[in-house]
Amino acid sequence: MEFLSQKQKIILILITVLMVIFIGYYIIKKSNDNYTELELTEENTIETKKIKIEDIEKEIIVHIAGEVKKEGILELEAGSRIADVIDKAGGTTEDADLSNINLAYEVEDGQKIYIPNKNNKEDVEYIIEEAGEGIINNEDSTSKKININTASQTELETLSGIGPSTALKIIQYREENGDFDSIEDIKNVSGIGDAKFNNIKEEITV
**Which of 28-42, 60-74, 107-121, 127-141 has the weakest average pLDDT?**
127-141
Q: Percent of the chain at pLDDT above 70?
A: 74
In tens, the pLDDT along 40-81 reads 666 666 665 555 555 555 788 889 988 999 988 899 998 899
What pLDDT does 93 receive?
A: 92
Q: Edge-to-edge, what's the strand order for the sheet holding 59-66? A: 72-77, 59-66, 112-115, 127-128
Task: Classify residue 122 as exposed, middle or buried by CB count within 10 Å of its CB (0-12, 13-18, 19+).
Answer: exposed
What pLDDT does 37 receive?
A: 60
What pLDDT does 1 receive?
A: 41
Host H or E run for residue 56: helix 6-57
The ranges assigned to domains in the chain are 7-53, 59-128, 141-205
Q: Which fold has domain 141-205?
A: DNA polymerase; domain 1 (1.10.150)
What pLDDT does 32 receive?
A: 62
The domain 59-128 is classified under which CATH number: 3.40.50, 1.10.760, 3.10.20, 3.30.43?
3.10.20
- Alpha helix segments (H runs only) across 58-152: 82-88
Identical topology for domains 59-128 and 141-205? no
| pLDDT at position 114 over 80 | yes
Average pLDDT over residues 103-107: 90
Q: Beta strands 72-77 and 127-128: pairing type?
A: unpaired
